[in-house]
Structure 1
Amino acid sequence: MAIELKMPALSPTMEEGTLAKWMVKEGDVVTSGTLLAEIETDKATMEFEAIDEGTVARIVVPDGTDAVKVGDVIAILAEEGEDVAEAAASGGAVAKAEPADTPKTEGGHSASSAQTDDGSGASPSSTPSSAQAEPVEAPSASQAPTRSNDGDRIKASPLARRIAADTGVNLSTLTGSGPGGRIVKADVESATPQTSAQAEPVEARAQSKSAPVDPGEIPHEVQKLSNMRKTIARRLTEAKQTVPHIYLTVDIRIDALLKLRGELNAGLESRGIKLSVNDLLIKALAQALMIVPKCNVAFAGDSLIAYSRADISVAVSIEGGLITPIVVGANEKSVSAIATEVKDLAGRAKEGKLQPHEYQGGTASISNMGMFGIKQFDAVINPPQGMIMAIGAGEKRPYIVDDALGVATVMSATGSFDHRAIDGADGAQLMKAFKDLVENPLGMLA
């Protein structure tokens, strides 16, 4: 019988993804291990391999389709000896004959079990019953009119309607490119939101809860959020709403650290390794967490998780967002090993080639914006971690040196702590330990 290929969960937190590119086409014979498609999650582009053998009978979800829910049928595979045409037809019936750009409704994930990005129980793919009942029509060479014969109802897929509501596009002004003239996602995304919104009655726009703020006559464009941007927005909102942050800031003299870095780099030059200030700060934070283990914890409802090693998540800015690859056991590694690992992780992060285990987890985070000239900032905790260290720029400042006013290179570091798990006094001890290690850097190398 026909085999349904479903959107896989490529990470523990993945709820939906973008089917970036099919590597096979209908009619291709595949075996276990055959590369089927490239799928974009909120963090990386990953490969989807076949685990069954057979012939690709039907591709249900085309290239470039985003917001495909985990578990949705994306293709139909005919088993060996099975008629491909029959497999494609039977697979279509199992898949509820929905258009490729239409999210699942009750036929896939129930509205009671689906979660929206804002955490509510309502399904983001819930659509009017009239739209759910529409059958899939065979594609025709000529485009049919957008409006159907049963009145003035506009023929559009539920996903197209939702995107139109979000962007202010008036569906009545569009010509559908889908089967039977149906308006699909691509038609809405290619429309000009400003022009379409102006053609829509003001009353209709006022009644749309999801309509964006009207920018008036200001030149603008509507940019669709990527999966990564949506995830960042959701997780940071949850962090600020549910995690009680406490912020502790210290000023740290880094002249000795800079001097040690120069000496170490001179010795490592022959090995092709160059330490950054951030590499040394990662080591310092890891060592400080070992000195003050009460801060190397995570809040877990009615309990605390106390970690025995320091896995440091390092914030890396990439195109379209932010990712935090992890230096596992940073407290046990040399600074040269940390430097080599961070360079590799950051490079692959920017190429979207990190594996989930390389950016999920960690016991604490570090975020350095000193290279941008930022003097001091408060970072948002990355749950379920209990703290994050925010590093500002090192700069020449008036400073008391040996009881006399002098000039020193000083940076500000701010720790953000989850006050449910870490008391202010414990956070203060961590900040002191971190400061001591940075100002006396030979101690972190012992």
Structure 2
Amino acid sequence: MATLMRMPEVLANATEAVIQTWLVSVGQEIAVGDPIAEIETDKAVVEYAAEMDGTVAELLAEPGVPIAVGDPIAKVTRIGEVDEPEDAESALAAAPRDPESAAPVLEDTDDPPQRVVTTMAAERRSAPAGNGHRLFATPLVRKLAGERGIDLTTVTGTGPGGRIVRRDLDRLPVTAPMENPTTPAPSQASSAEPERPYHDVPLSGMRRAIARRLTESKTTVPHFYVTADCRVDALLDLRRSVNAADTYKISVNDFVLKAVAGALVEVPEANVIFTGDAIRQFSGVDIAVAVAVEGGLLTPVVRDVDSLPLSGIATRVADLAERARAGKLKQQELEGGSFSVSNLGMYGVGSFSAILNPPHSGILAVGAAAQRPVVVDGALTVGTVMTVNLSADHRAIDGSVAAQWMSAFTRRIENPLTILI
């Protein structure tokens, strides 16, 4: 008897997702934890791992077609079993949803009680190209190609059977036509300046998700802010010494993450999230790190930062950032945590305030370290200073807790040997 594998809720509150690429084929044996598909949501592309052992009997979800969370995407049988044929009603119930295709039609045949399920989607997905050859592309790819002004006959597909998938388009430059390529002639009845030429860049799924989530955060979560200037001369000296003794380089951001974790351990009242019915306090420290990717931003989570050495933090952050930019993050790597860190110091930004990343109750915005005049023992001197801004959720964290946390963080940054202990 075959078991149905269903579309998971890849990200919180997602209602549908798309199989971008199947990583398995019919007849292949799989084990729990094996990657079986790359699933695309409006925020990211993640690997989906098998939750059962068995043999792939059938792939029900067509790559590129939106599938509702909970709908069947594949059949898996026990190793050595043969999948038994289903009746027409079961086959119809297991068929993947395709909002761009006509509704499935049951056609009676001359050999009752057998029936055949047909749709128009298959014909559209293999419509002939202008050169007479079949053009294999998913409906999502056709839609994106139209938005970006891409001629699919010039694209080489890397999906199964040469199918054109989204990643093939993402490798190409955007060439969407200008919406208003010409400047309208000024009206003699008006002295207003003529409208300047412009073009609209279609919103990607990721950009839509960022707009929706951050608008929700800023309008529904009561933010408040705490700022501190940290002397980092000693930290920079220690970093140079550490990097001189090791081939793997430690960044300032790695020190920041370790100091954030230490402060959350010292002030556990800040290591929380607001659930609506309670304030959930965590015993371990998991921190999300903002990673800029093409067309948006992802926040993979580094686990157990409080117990990791600096070298371990550096290794994990580098791995997560690399896979984030390649669209290879796994579902669980985008979930969890209570706190985020966003660092724009490498761009020369002196100071900024970040919007909370729900459901996290805190996000630290880190600016560039720069030389500034400072007063030491009543005398004016030059020191290297880094400005940090904490954005906090006032539903879960009070001002006094935020101040205690910032004090604990600053103390670690300005006395970096405590970070290594």
TM-score by length of 1: 0.66
What is the CA-CA distance between 1:77 and the residue it aligns to?
8.3
- Secondary structure of 2:356's aligned partner: coil
Is 1:255 aligned to residue 233 of structure 2? yes
Q: Distance in 2 between matches of 1:54 and 1:313?
A: 35
Match of 2:381 among 406, 415, 418: 406
- Give the counterpart letter for 2:47 in structure 1: M
Structure 1 residues 8-157: aligned runs within 5 Å: 8-10=8-10, 13-22=13-22, 28-33=26-31, 37-41=37-41, 42-47=43-48, 49=50, 53=55, 55-56=57-58, 61-65=61-65, 67-74=66-73, 80=82, 82=84, 93-94=92-93, 99=98, 101=100, 136=119
Match of 1:220 among 181, 199, 208: 199
User: How many pairs were matched up?
Assistant: 350
Identity %: 42
What is the CA-CA distance between 1:136 and the residue it aligns to?
4.2
* Cross-structure match for 1:338: 313
- Secondary structure of 2:9's aligned partner: coil
- Give the counterpart letter for 1:241 in structure 2: T
Q: Deviations over 1:238-267 (max 9, x none)?
A: 211221000111111111111111111112
**Structure number with higher relative contact order (C-alpha < 8 Å, ≥ 6 residues apart):** 2
- Secondary structure of 2:363's aligned partner: strand
| 1:315–1:368 CA contact under 8 A, matched in 2 | yes
* Cross-structure match for 2:131: none
Is 1:349 aligned to residue 328 of structure 2? no
| 2:371–2:383 CA contact under 8 A, matched in 1 | yes
Q: Distance in 1 between matches of 2:122 and 2:286?
A: 53
- Secondary structure of 1:427's aligned partner: helix
- Secondary structure of 1:392's aligned partner: strand
Match of 2:270 among 270, 295, 306: 295
- Where do 5+ consecutive residues of structure 2 fail to align? 104-117, 128-138, 148-165, 167-175, 181-194
Q: Distance in 2 between matches of 1:193 and 1:76?
A: 42
- Give the counterpart letter for 2:269 in structure 1: K
* Cross-structure match for 1:304: 279
Structure 1 residues 128-207: aligned runs within 5 Å: 136=119
Match of 1:397 among 361, 369, 372: 372
* Cross-structure match for 1:278: 253
| 1:98–1:136 CA contact under 8 A, matched in 2 | no
Match of 1:266 among 244, 264, 280: 244
Q: Distance in 2 between matches of 1:331 and 1:302?
A: 27
* Cross-structure match for 1:436: 411
1:69/1:418 CA distance change after superposition, 3 Å? same
Match of 1:319 among 286, 294, 309: 294
1:9/1:308 CA distance change after superposition, 3 Å? closer
Match of 2:209 among 210, 223, 231: 231
Match of 1:385 among 334, 339, 360: 360
| 1:381–1:416 CA contact under 8 A, matched in 2 | yes
- Secondary structure of 2:264's aligned partner: helix
1:35/1:351 CA distance change after superposition, 3 Å? closer
- Where do 5+ consecutive residues of structure 1 fail to align? 105-134, 144-158, 168-185, 187-191, 197-215
Q: Distance in 2 between matches of 1:236 and 1:29?
A: 43
Q: Deviations over 1:74-125 (max 9, x none)?
A: 4678983756xx86x6565336896563599xxxxxxxxxxxxxxxxxxxxx
| 2:342–2:354 CA contact under 8 A, matched in 1 | yes
- Give the counterpart letter for 2:355 in structure 1: V
| 1:97–1:136 CA contact under 8 A, matched in 2 | no
How big is the alpha-carbon RMSD for the aligned residues of Structure 1 and Structure 2?
4.1
TM-score by length of 2: 0.70
| 1:397–1:407 CA contact under 8 A, matched in 2 | yes
1:75/1:100 CA distance change after superposition, 3 Å? farther
1:219/1:254 CA distance change after superposition, 3 Å? same
1:10/1:439 CA distance change after superposition, 3 Å? same
- Secondary structure of 2:19's aligned partner: strand
- Secondary structure of 2:368's aligned partner: coil
Q: Distance in 1 between matches of 2:334 and 2:97?
A: 35
| 1:2–1:90 CA contact under 8 A, matched in 2 | no
